[in-house]
Structure 1
Amino acid sequence: MRASTTGRVLHDPKGGSFRFDAGAVCLDFAHTGGEGPYAVFETLHEPSDLAVWLAEPPLSAIMTVPVTVDELAAAKVVRQAIWDTAHTRAAGRPLPAEAVATLNRTAAAAPPVPELAADGTTARWAPPVRSTQVLSTLAREMIELLSGPLSERIRECAGDNCPLVFVDSSRPGARRWCAMERCGNRHKLRTHRARRATGP
């Protein structure tokens, strides 16, 4: 998985879409839906939806064993654990024990095994490819993120009422917005209007 290939297009239930790069595939996965008020953003309705998401780059994990309903439910539990640990770390609070246990349990499963093609220049995931293997990869990435040098760079978007989280891997570490085209531009517009309102 390469950082340059992270990011997905997010869709607002009210209309509109924008590209959001969370800086890590596990964080991209955390934004595929959610619980409570975030259920309106759910994109993983059926097991096949999870299979399609995992098959896209950079994971490119084409399932050779169909995703089951139980595996979809388990994936959503892992997704919530990633979401919860990312937000608590961004807020500087202790990580929730249940979410940590979920990440550790998921990471304990064997990850996908890369297989070099006969031509020696391309590779794929060796079959069988199961969703549990790819979820292990996502959990391992989140564990590395939480325990690594970018741990303090996990942030929540500074936009009003925007819950999106990302890891700022830029050299200056000055990223504030989920995307400049969304919350960044909204902030600039509000600042411009405020200046005009208070100007001479």
Structure 2
Amino acid sequence: MIHAFPCGTPALDFVGTLRARRNDEPTEKLASVADLDAWCVESGLLDGAPASDAGDLRHAVELREAIYALVRARLLDRPLPAEAVGTVNRYAAHPPLTPVLTEAGWSRVGSAAQVLSQLAREAVEIVGGDAAALLRECGRPECTQVYLDHSRGRRREWCSMATCGSRMKAAAYRARRRAGVDA
């Protein structure tokens, strides 16, 4: 797997394909059409690569940034940016993925454009619904993953305990050890 899915929802995991946004050089995880195809499969939205093209990749990045702008506005309790609202609504208006029943169960079929529609629809539901109150950004300064905090007490601090959480706890432990040695 080349992509990470710590956020618990495809739309927010999709936003996380641009890692460490505040760094001088963020890490782009959708650098190629192959990366987009891999994300579509690894996310579980499609069983097979949608054979994306360069236009699909441009659209994916455009949608990702619009979703992030909306999420960021909610996190900062600011009005939703009109351009981002228009972009997300435009993608949400396209046909979504098609569920199909097979002998093995069910799956979804569709194109990259349909994947983007599915993500836009999910973003509309998150940003425009009650889930917006659960939006959080990872507490690790180098990370900018956003997620829905479904934890008891709504005190989740990190996008994932396996990555950012363990790094932050290890850093805090080392700092306490150094403080103890210095004392």
Common fold: TM-score over 0.5 = yes
* Per-residue Cα deviation, 1:82-104 (whole angstroms, up to 9, x for no partner): 11211221121212111111110
Separation in 2, partners of 1:94, 1:165 = 18
Matched residue, 1:173: 154
Q: 1:103-131: per-residue Cα shift (whole Å, max 9, x none)? A: 100000001111112x4x512334xx211
Per the alignment, in what secondary structure is the counterpart of residue 60 of structure 2? helix
C-alpha distance in 2, partners of 1:115/1:98? 34
Correspondence 1:142-161 to 2 at 5 A: 142-161=123-142
Decide whether the 8 Å contact of 2:22 with 2:144 is kept in 1.
no
1:197 is matched with 179
Q: Distance in 2 between matches of 1:107 and 1:96?
A: 17
1:33 and 1:39 in contact (8 A); partners too: no
- Cα deviation per residue 1:15-70 (whole Å; 9 max; x = unaligned)? xxxx6511211111111127785764112222222112102242125245x31111
Structure 2 residue matching 1:111: 3-state secondary structure: coil
Amino acid across the alignment from 1:135: L
- Do 1:75 and 1:135's aligned partners in 2 also have CA atoms closer than 8 Å? yes
Q: CA separation of 1:32/1:39 partners in 2, compared to 1, >3 Å: closer, same or farther?
A: farther
Aligned-residue CA RMSD (Å): 2.8
Verify the 8 A CA contact 1:115 1:124 in the aligned structure 2.
yes
Shift of 1:177: 1.3
* TM-score, normalization by structure 1: 0.76
Equivalent-residue separation in structure 1 for 2:61 and 2:106 (angstroms) = 29
1:59 correspondence with 2:45: yes
Within 5 Å, give how 1:47-126 maps onto structure 2. Answer: 47-63=33-49, 66-117=51-102, 119=103, 122-126=105-109
Distance in 1, matches of 2:157 and 2:112, equals 33
Work out which of the residue numbers 86, 105, 112 in structure 2 matches 1:131.
Answer: 112
Bigger Cα displacement from structure 2, 184-193 vs 91-100: 184-193
TM-score under structure 2 normalisation?
A: 0.82
**Residues 36 and 153 of structure 1: CA distance in aligned 2, closer, same or farther (over 3 Å):** closer
Match in the other structure for 1:13? none
RCO (CA 8 Å, sep 6+): is it higher in 1 or 2? 2
The question of whether the paired residues in 1 share the 8 Å contact of 2:15 and 2:145 is answered with no
User: In structure 2, what residue type is equivalent to 1:197?
Assistant: A
Aligned partner of 1:3 in structure 2 is: none
Q: Which residue of 2 aligns with 1:42?
A: 28
1:167 Cα offset (Å): 1.1
Asked if the contact 1:88/1:95 (under 8 Å) is kept, the reply is yes
Retained in 1: the 8 A contact 2:18–2:26? Answer: yes
Mapped contact 1:78–1:139 kept (Cα < 8 A): yes
For structure 1, which runs of at least 5 residues remain unmatched after alignment?
1-7, 11-18
